Structure 1
Amino acid sequence: MYADRFPSAELQRRPADYQLKTWDYDSICSMQQQAQQDHEHSKESSLQSSLKQKVRRLLLEEEEELATRLIIMDQLQSLGVAYHFEEEIRNILMSMHVHDAHHQLKHDLSSTALLFRMLRGYGISASTDMLSAFRDENGDFKAANPKDIDGFVALHEASYLAFPGEAMLDEARAFAVKKLEQLMPSMFISMERQIDLPLQWRVPRLQAIWSLQQHGYNDEKHLSMDPSVLQLAVVDFNLVQAVHGAELVEVTKWWKETGLGVKLPFARDRLVECFFCAACIAPEPPLASCREVLAKVGSLIVHLDDVYDLYGTFDELAAFTDAVGSWDDDALSTALPEYMKAMYSVIRSTSTEAADRVTKGKGYDVLPLYKKAWHELCKAFLIEAKWQHEGQMPCLEEYLENGWVTSTGPLLLLHAFTMLQQQEQIDSWLRNHDDGNDMVYPKLVELCSMIFRLCNDCATYEAESERGEEASAITCRMGCGASKEDARAAVVDAIAETWKKVNREVALSSITGTGSAANRVCVNLARTIQCIYQDGDGITSPKDSRKRLVKDMLFTPLDLDICGAW
Structure 2
Amino acid sequence: MASGSMVSVFQPSAWSEFFSRYERKPPKRSGEWMKIRIGKLKEDVQMLFKNCSNSLERMNLVDAVQRLGIEHLFEIQIETALSDIHENEPSSSNLHEVALRFRLLREHGLWVSPDVFKKFKGEDGTFNEYITNDPKGLLCLYNASYVLTHGEPELEEATSFARHHLKSMAPSLRSPLAEQVKRALHVPLPRTYRRLEALSYMPEYEQEAEHNPILLELAKLEFNLLQAVHLKELKAISEWYSDLKGYVGLSFARDRVVECYLWGYFLFYEEEHALPRMIFAKLFFLHILLDDTNDVGATLEEYGKLDAAIQRWEESAVSLVPGYLKKFYNKLLICFKEFDDELRLNGRYSIDHIKKEFQQLSSCYLQEAEWLHKNHKPRFEDRLHLGAMSIGAIELCVYAMVCMGDEMPEGALEWVLGYPDVVMACARIGRLMNDLAASSKPRNNRDVANCMECYASEHKVTEEVAFAAIDSMIEDEWKTTNQARFKHGHDLLPAVQRVINFTLSGPVYYGDRKDAFTFSSHLEDIIKSLFVNPIPI
Smaller-chain TM-score range? over 0.9
Residue in 1 that maps onto 2:255: 269
User: Which of 116, 122, 129 is equivalent to 2:115?
Assistant: 129
Residue in 2 that maps onto 1:348: 333
Give me the whole-angstrom Cα distance separating, in 1, the residues matched to 2:441 and 2:303.
22
Query: Within 5 A, what are the aligned runs for 1:291-440?
Result: 291-338=277-324, 340-362=325-347, 364=349, 366-421=350-405, 422=408, 424-425=410-411, 428=414, 440=418
Where does structure 1 lack aligned partners over 5 or more consecutive residues? 1-8, 431-438, 561-566
For the Cα contact (< 8 Å) 1:16–1:467, is it kept in 2? no
Residue in 2 that maps onto 1:434: none
Query: Within 5 A, what are the aligned runs for 1:110-509?
Result: 110-187=96-173, 188-215=178-205, 219=207, 221=208, 223-259=209-245, 263-338=249-324, 340-362=325-347, 364=349, 366-421=350-405, 422=408, 424-425=410-411, 428=414, 440-463=418-441, 465-480=443-458, 481-509=460-488
Give me the whole-angstrom Cα distance separating, in 1, the residues matched to 2:327 and 2:316.
14
Q: Tell me: CA distance 1:47–1:10, structure 2 relative to 1, closer, same or farther (3 Å).
A: closer
Are residues 1:95 and 2:74 paired? no
User: 1:154 deviation in Å?
Assistant: 0.5
TM-score (norm 2): 0.92
Output one character per residue of 1:81-132: Cα deviation in whole Å (capped at 9) or x when no partner.
Answer: 11111111111111111111x22x1x20011001000000000121112212
Residue in 2 that maps onto 1:78: 67
The percentage of counterpart residues that share the same residue type is 27
User: 1:334 deviation in Å?
Assistant: 3.1
Q: Tell me: CA distance 1:487–1:337, structure 2 relative to 1, closer, same or farther (3 Å).
A: farther
Give me the whole-angstrom Cα distance separating, in 2, the residues matched to 1:247 and 1:294.
12
Residue in 2 that maps onto 1:550: 527
Residue in 2 that maps onto 1:5: none
For the Cα contact (< 8 Å) 1:399–1:472, is it kept in 2? yes
User: 1:518 deviation in Å?
Assistant: 2.2
Residue in 2 that maps onto 1:6: none
For the Cα contact (< 8 Å) 1:420–1:518, is it kept in 2? no
Residue in 2 that maps onto 1:541: 519
TM-score (norm 1): 0.88
Give me the whole-angstrom Cα distance separating, in 1, the residues matched to 2:327 and 2:2.
18
Output one character per residue of 1:360-419: Cα deviation in whole Å (capped at 9) or x when no partner.
Answer: 33374x332122111100111111111111101111111111111111012212111111
Give me the whole-angstrom Cα distance separating, in 1, the residues matched to 2:341 and 2:190.
36
Residue in 1 that maps onto 2:49: 59
For the Cα contact (< 8 Å) 2:401–2:413, is it kept in 1? no
For the Cα contact (< 8 Å) 1:418–1:426, is it kept in 2? no
CA RMSD of aligned residues (A): 2.4
Give me the whole-angstrom Cα distance separating, in 2, the residues matched to 1:463 and 1:16.
18
For the Cα contact (< 8 Å) 1:324–1:371, is it kept in 2? no
Give me the whole-angstrom Cα distance separating, in 2, the residues matched to 1:363 and 1:538.
32
Residue in 1 that maps onto 2:14: 22
Output one character per residue of 1:149-204: Cα deviation in whole Å (capped at 9) or x when no partner.
Answer: 01111011011100111111001111111221221221225522211101111111
SS at the partner of 1:373? helix
Where does structure 2 lack aligned partners over 5 or more consecutive residues? none
SS at the partner of 1:146? helix
Give me the whole-angstrom Cα distance separating, in 1, the residues matched to 2:261 and 2:507.
16
User: 1:529 deviation in Å?
Assistant: 2.0
For the Cα contact (< 8 Å) 1:269–1:303, is it kept in 2? no
User: 1:142 deviation in Å?
Assistant: 1.6
User: 1:458 deviation in Å?
Assistant: 1.4
Output one character per residue of 1:246-273: Cα deviation in whole Å (capped at 9) or x when no partner.
Answer: 1111111211111268701111101111
User: 1:72 deviation in Å?
Assistant: 1.7
Q: Tell me: CA distance 1:209–1:261, structure 2 relative to 1, closer, same or farther (3 Å).
A: farther
SS at the partner of 2:14? coil
For the Cα contact (< 8 Å) 2:7–2:251, is it kept in 1? no
Give me the whole-angstrom Cα distance separating, in 1, the residues matched to 2:247 and 2:130.
60
User: Which of 513, 528, 547 is equivalent to 2:505?
Assistant: 528
AA aligned opposite 1:60: K
Q: Aligned residue pairs: how many? A: 527
